[in-house]
Structure 1
């Protein structure tokens, strides 16, 4: 593993342990060249995933981008970070287990909405407002009416 500080190619693992949900291995590393310490995470990747955008373009799946979008929806919300990490791991495993390497961005968006609905209703509405491209207050009202009715999916607004 290359040192992120000095780019030295040979770092040493000082401590290795599974994460709380056992979905990854956390490794504390040390660089003998500059003395820097850093942490890496090792995760199982079942298959190489690609996201098929609405315009047909294929891009490699990026777990960090998925996490950033969930973090934005959850900004300033009282949600335990461990719950968020578990939900994110579960979502990625579900995507990898679908049996397809190419996953439509719409499928990923729906999966994110399901995960957020289980974590925080405000974050769910925030994400939905961007994902479903709400343009007017009426769009929010329709969406909230469907939520109140027990349906977690709104008509395309």
Structure 2
């Protein structure tokens, strides 16, 4: 493992332990060259995934990019980091176990939106506004109507006349 401070490749593991949800191993490392300390995480990867973008470009799947986008959507919201980590880990596991190496970016976006809908409505709307490229206020209104309709129990709705 290369040191993020000096670039040296002689690092030593000082401590290893599983993360709270047991989906990764957390390793504390120290660089033998500069003495810098840093943490790495090791996760199981079932398969290499390739994302097919809207323009047809193919890029390697990046779990950290997915995590950053979810963190941006949930910024300053009362959502525990553990719940976000579990959601992202579940999405990645779902993608890796699908049997396909190529994943359409739109499918990832839909999975993230479904996950965020269960975590936090505001985060869901934030993500959807970027993902669906909202241009006008009516785009928000339509999404909020859809969200509020989903929250209403159909058995409790008054009959339509």
Superposition TM-score, scaled by structure 1 size: 0.92
Following superposition, the deviation at residue 124 of structure 1 comes to 0.1
Is 1:146 matched with 2:149? no
CA RMSD of superposed structures (Å) = 1.1
Partner of 1:154: none
Distance 1:149 1:27 in 2: 46
Paired residue secondary structure (1:150): helix
Partner of 2:120: 120
Following superposition, the deviation at residue 118 of structure 1 comes to 1.3
Following superposition, the deviation at residue 144 of structure 1 comes to 1.1
Distance 1:33 1:53 in 2: 41
Q: Which runs of 4 or more aligned residues in structure 1 lie more than 2 Å from their structure 2 counterparts after TM superposition? A: none
Partner of 1:66: 66
Paired residue secondary structure (1:27): strand
Partner of 1:56: 56
Partner of 1:76: 76
Q: Would you say how many aligned residue pairs link Structure 1 and Structure 2?
A: 151
Paired residue secondary structure (2:150): coil
Unaligned runs of 5+ in 2: 152-161
1:62-101 CA-partner distances (Å, limit 9, x unpaired): 1111111111111111111111111111111111111101
Distance 2:2 2:104 in 1: 34
Partner of 1:93: 93
Partner of 1:28: 28
Distance 2:116 2:99 in 1: 23
Paired residue secondary structure (2:25): strand
Following superposition, the deviation at residue 32 of structure 1 comes to 2.1
Following superposition, the deviation at residue 27 of structure 1 comes to 0.3
Distance 2:3 2:58 in 1: 31
Partner of 1:4: 4
Superposition TM-score, scaled by structure 2 size: 0.90
Partner of 1:44: 44
Rg (Cα) greater in structure = 2
